[in-house]
Structure 1
Amino acid sequence: MSAPTTTIPAARRRPLGAVLRRPSSAVAFAFLVLLVGSAIAAPVIAPHDPDAQELGNRFAGVSLTHLAGADEFGRDVLSRLLYAARIAVTAPLISVGVAVLIGLPTGLWAGRRRGIVDAVSGRLADTLLSLPALASALAIVAVLGPGLTNAMVAVGIIFSPTVFRVVRGATLSVAEETFVESATAIGCSTRRTLWVHILPNIAAPLLVQVTILMGVALLAEASLSFIGLGVQPPEASWGSMLGAAYRNQYDAPYAVVPPGIALVLTVLTFNTLGDALRDVLAGRRAS
């Protein structure tokens, strides 16, 4: 008699495929691909120069020349939306990258070594988490100066305690597993144990947290650009476009619609993918 075969659920074999089989996450992924493609191809597909001013067309409505209208300087809104998509893609990557760069190694080390390292880093994380996030980011930007990179570095510093907590908690759980104890028993160094044995096994919760933080980072960038501390003129950002629309709401009451819809859809995309990834990975652990 042949040995019985074990069927591995598809969610365990291909987590990305399991995520994309959900209609909502498939639509979200398609929108994300479209967003990245539009950001890359903006110089080719944008109908106008995003910084070209035509003062005679101030607050022009939707037309064949300006498919999404024109702003207070007569600049084409659609072209600025397409170029601002670059900010929507790069800004979260910068901030979340800084957060992971700070929170991942400290969380791994604190969860594995514990002791004084865990106590000090934990108190620092609690202190940062107790402060209002936007106010803390404003204080950091005030020191570093306005600009997209400085603003996103500030947001990344504010996000780092969240990454630290997630990584530390997952590390504490994985560190009790037998394979980690075996690696220590055969003489593996702490560094090798952390990066070779523990990190691959905490990648799932870390990836979910990163996906969720991408949407929050985009909102943070829009908030800072809205008040003039993020992207600087004449560069376009959805947040700065919303700020301009707010200042001219009586002259162009519908100017908030294009950047507002783009911002909402992108944040929903990140959240939808994060929720789907969390559910799929939770199902893998349960099975």
Structure 2
Amino acid sequence: MTTATLSSATRSSQRSRVIRNVLRRPSAATAAGFVAVLVLFAVFGPLISPHDPDAQDLGNRFAELSWSHLLGTDEFGRDVASRIIQASRIALVAPLISVGVALLIGLPFGLWAGLRRGVVDAVAGRLADTVLSLPAMVGALAILAVLGPGLVNAMVAIGIIFAPGLFRVVRGATLAVAEETFVHSAVAIGSPTRRTLWVHILPNIAAPLLVQVTILMGVALLAEASLSFIGLGVQPPDASWGSMLKAAYTNQFDAPYSVVPPGIAMVLTVLAFNTIGDAIRDAVGLRRGI
């Protein structure tokens, strides 16, 4: 068996051990189950929804809870439960877009800056400091002013705002790993920089990176809801928990409890992401004996 095969098998074993340690915690297992339910809603929503989420029934506005409408109806007579299920797709897709954009920007620059430093580290570090000095939502609104409203544009803007923080996390972790003996050995035998970064360093910073990603997923969901609340995110008639909160706020005197379903869904989802992130952090610390 080659050294590369042994290394790959060791990393696979370590990942399996971390996953087992995460799922061994009841809170993390519950959070993972909740996210799995959201994924099912997102994938099979049209089959699960009791009604068409966009079908209007103006004669049945603000209906109370019943077997026909488990969570009542909104100002257009649309079934709230069906729209909650439909919005679960946005709740997963939107954070994935923003975190994906942040990874595309922050990960390669953070790896390079942490290993090679020099000009890239200096320039990227100053740019990151500049963006981090700005209020996050103000920066996102400025980018949206250029890109225009819409879900994808909103989450790209949020991803750009997330990128400097992710860059800092990746750079710091890379600086620590770059001082390890195996990295010096790889450089000494002439390993290309690209191979050193993606084969030797990235797997060893995956744990803090994954923790940061799970935290950003929850923050991204709140950011999407905030932008949808003010009309810059998801556009009608598509459902979003943020736009549903906006409708509930507008009609708070006609349906004072309509804020509860999207609010609870959002709180539970953010809590699930954060719980999984905390469990990963603890599991990695347990594996390293911290």
Pair in the same fold by TM > 0.5: yes
Offset, 1:14: 1.2
CA distance in 1, matches of 2:16, 2:207: 14
**Residue equivalent to 2:9:** none
Out of 233, 256, 260, the residue aligned to residue 253 of structure 1 is 256
Give the conservation status (yes or no) of the 8 Å contact 1:11–1:280: no
**Residue equivalent to 1:127:** 130
- 1:175-197 C-alpha deviation (Å, 9 max, x unpaired): 11111111111111111111111
Letter of the 1:269 counterpart: A
Out of 74, 79, 88, the residue aligned to residue 76 of structure 1 is 79
**Where does 1:81-100 land on structure 2 (aligned, <5 Å)?**
81-100=84-103
**Residue equivalent to 2:121:** 118
CA distance in 1, matches of 2:37, 2:121: 42
**Where does 1:213-232 land on structure 2 (aligned, <5 Å)?**
213-232=216-235
**Residue equivalent to 2:212:** 209
Answering whether residue 56 of structure 2 is matched by residue 53 of structure 1, we say yes
TM-score (normalizing by structure 2): 0.94
Letter of the 1:55 counterpart: L
**Where does 1:155-174 land on structure 2 (aligned, <5 Å)?**
155-174=158-177
Answering whether residue 42 of structure 2 is matched by residue 39 of structure 1, we say yes
Answering whether residue 245 of structure 2 is matched by residue 265 of structure 1, we say no
Q: Secondary structure at the match of 1:41?
A: helix
TM-score (normalizing by structure 1): 0.95
CA distance in 1, matches of 2:250, 2:143: 26
**Residue equivalent to 2:10:** none
Answering whether residue 182 of structure 2 is matched by residue 179 of structure 1, we say yes
Give the conservation status (yes or no) of the 8 Å contact 1:129–1:161: yes
CA distance in 2, matches of 1:13, 1:45: 33
Offset, 1:12: 7.7
Out of 60, 66, 84, the residue aligned to residue 63 of structure 1 is 66
Q: Secondary structure at the match of 1:14?
A: helix
Give the conservation status (yes or no) of the 8 Å contact 1:108–1:167: yes
Moved over 3 A (4+): 10-13
Q: Secondary structure at the match of 2:213?
A: helix
Letter of the 1:150 counterpart: N
Would the alpha carbon gap of residues 245 and 167 (structure 1) be closer, same or farther in structure 2, given more than 3 Å must change? same
CA distance in 2, matches of 1:13, 1:156: 29
CA distance in 1, matches of 2:118, 2:224: 36
Aligned pair count?
A: 278
RMSD over equivalenced CA pairs, Å: 1.2
Would the alpha carbon gap of residues 196 and 33 (structure 1) be closer, same or farther in structure 2, given more than 3 Å must change? same
5+ long unaligned stretches in structure 2: 1-12
Which has the larger displacement, 212-221 or 187-196?
187-196
Offset, 1:253: 0.3
Answering whether residue 238 of structure 2 is matched by residue 235 of structure 1, we say yes
- 1:81-120 C-alpha deviation (Å, 9 max, x unpaired): 0000000011100000000010000000111111111011
CA distance in 2, matches of 1:27, 1:59: 33
**Residue equivalent to 2:139:** 136
CA distance in 1, matches of 2:243, 2:121: 40
Answering whether residue 191 of structure 2 is matched by residue 188 of structure 1, we say yes
Percentage identity across paired residues of the two chains: 75
